[in-house]
């Protein structure tokens, strides 16, 4: 993979990387299209990264559908390389004996980081390795995983990787549910109620547009909406500043806020978010 990338670089091409864990859907394909529009050599990596799963999480049963993924990428077209390494390929001493980690402090403390200890360390470590092997100029990530995007952008800048991160808007089903490989775990009843994540986020956005500046009132509004779905069990529902990912006491007109939530349906954990610019009174 590295010699292929080096060769493309020597030929003066601009390289894009789209990291994925496979089980590809339209959300992933949106990243591929974005990459294609910004670069002239596109690599898609497919790797279910063991170090970002915690004990009791779904590493073993995570869907692995390589043949279908390759077919989806052939159909969408414009993909120059698919990099699907083995665990030993990315963890030469094995994942259990891995000694070298990349960690981003602060930004990983809250939101998903609070409930998935070690998750972002696994993500930053594997993405740093993918950058080292695939040698991209740009890398595309989904804003569906907003905290992951902000954490990785900070890592890419602070490690002086020279890789520019592009955040791609979330692709949704017609009823608002964000596409996710984990949606396949939902029962029909859970699937029917799952659009409540998007409804809660839209309620938050509407409240902010109406001029609500108290985070607690907006969170309360989201919890009310979530309570209309009896199978939904909130893990967190938060409003944080997009720079620091820290909770804010009061929304400040002109700044951006991230409304984010993680909701369990049975054993399945779904996340979603929206980024809202807080209007000044004169905007309304």
Q: CB count, 10 Å around CB of 37?
A: 12
Binds ligand AMP by CB under 6 A, chosen from 69, 145, 190, 238:
145
Choice between 268 and 278, CB closer to ligand AMP: 268
DSSP state at residue 249: S
The stretches of 39-161 forming alpha helices (DSSP H) are 66-76, 87-90, 112-115, 119-134, 146-158
Choice between 121 and 221, CB closer to ligand AMP: 121
Closest distance to ligand AMP from the beta carbon of 53 (Å): 11
Q: How far is CA 13 from CA 18, 138, 196, in A?
A: 16, 12, 44
Give me the sheet containing 138-142, strands edge to edge: 81-83, 41-46, 15-20, 138-142, 164-168
* Cα–Cα distance measured from residue 163 to residue 168, given in angstroms and rounded to the nearest whole number: 16
Closest distance to ligand AMP from the beta carbon of 148 (Å): 6
Choice between 139 and 208, CB closer to ligand AMP: 139
200 closest CA partner among 135, 255, 261: 261
Residue 124 binds ligand AMP, judged by CB under 6 A: no
Residue 179 binds ligand AMP, judged by CB under 6 A: yes
By CB under 6 A, which span of 74-82, 96-104, 142-150, 248-256 interacts with ligand AMP?
A: 142-150
Kind plus residue range of the DSSP H or E element containing 197: helix 196-209
Residue 171 binds ligand AMP, judged by CB under 6 A: yes
* Cα–Cα distance measured from residue 129 to residue 111, given in angstroms and rounded to the nearest whole number: 25
Closest distance to ligand AMP from the beta carbon of 66 (Å): 13
Binds ligand AMP by CB under 6 A, chosen from 36, 119, 144, 154:
144
DSSP state at residue 126: H
Instruction: Give yes or no: 41 in active site.
Output: no
Closest distance to ligand AMP from the beta carbon of 198 (Å): 11
State the number of binding residues for ligand AMP (CB under 6 A).
17
Residue 73 binds ligand AMP, judged by CB under 6 A: no
20 closest CA partner among 145, 117, 163: 145
Contact of 143 with 170, CB cutoff 8 Å: yes
Choice between 184 and 217, CB closer to ligand AMP: 184
* Cα–Cα distance measured from residue 197 to residue 222, given in angstroms and rounded to the nearest whole number: 9
Residue 122 binds ligand AMP, judged by CB under 6 A: no
SS3 state of residue 33:
helix
SS3 state of residue 154:
helix
Residue 180 binds ligand AMP, judged by CB under 6 A: yes
Closest distance to ligand AMP from the beta carbon of 49 (Å): 8
Residue 197 binds ligand AMP, judged by CB under 6 A: no
Closest distance to ligand AMP from the beta carbon of 149 (Å): 7
Name the site residues for ligand AMP (rule: CB under 6 A): 20-21, 27-28, 30-31, 141-142, 144-145, 168, 170-171, 178-181
Active site residues: 28
């Amino acid at each position: 993979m590295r010699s292929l990338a080096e060769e493309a670089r020597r030929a003066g091409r601009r390289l894009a990387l789209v990291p994925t864990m496979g089980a590809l859907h339209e959300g992933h394909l949106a990243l591929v299209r974005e990459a294609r529009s910004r670069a002239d050599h596109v690599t898609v990596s497919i790797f279910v990264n063991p170090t970002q799963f915690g004990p009791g999480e779904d590493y073993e049963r995570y869907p692995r559908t390589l043949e279908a993924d390759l077919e989806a990428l052939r159909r969408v077209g414009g993909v120059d390389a698919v990099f699907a390494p083995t665990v030993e390929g990315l963890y030469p001493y094995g994942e259990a004996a891995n000694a070298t980690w990349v960690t981003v402090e602060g930004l990983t403390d809250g939101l998903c980081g609070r409930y998935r200890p070690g998750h972002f360390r696994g993500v930053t470590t594997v993405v740093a390795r993918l950058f080292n092997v695939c040698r991209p100029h740009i890398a595309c990530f989904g804003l569906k995983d907003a905290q992951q995007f902000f954490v990785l952008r900070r890592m890419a800048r602070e490690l002086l990787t020279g890789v520019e991160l592009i955040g791609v808007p979330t692709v949704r089903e017609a009823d608002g549910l964000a596409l996710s490989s984990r949606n396949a775990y939902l029962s029909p009843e859970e699937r029917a109620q799952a659009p409540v994540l998007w409804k809660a986020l839209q309620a938050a956005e509407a409240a902010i547009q109406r001029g609500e500046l108290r985070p607690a009132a907006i969170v309360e509004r989201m919890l009310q909406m979530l309570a209309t779905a009896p199978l939904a069990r909130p893990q967190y529902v938060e409003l944080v500043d997009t720079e620091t990912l820290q909770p804010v006491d009061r929304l400040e007109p002109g700044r951006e806020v991230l409304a984010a939530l993680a909701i369990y349906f049975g054993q399945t954990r779904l996340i979603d978010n929206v980024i809202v610019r807080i209007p000044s009174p004169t905007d309304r």
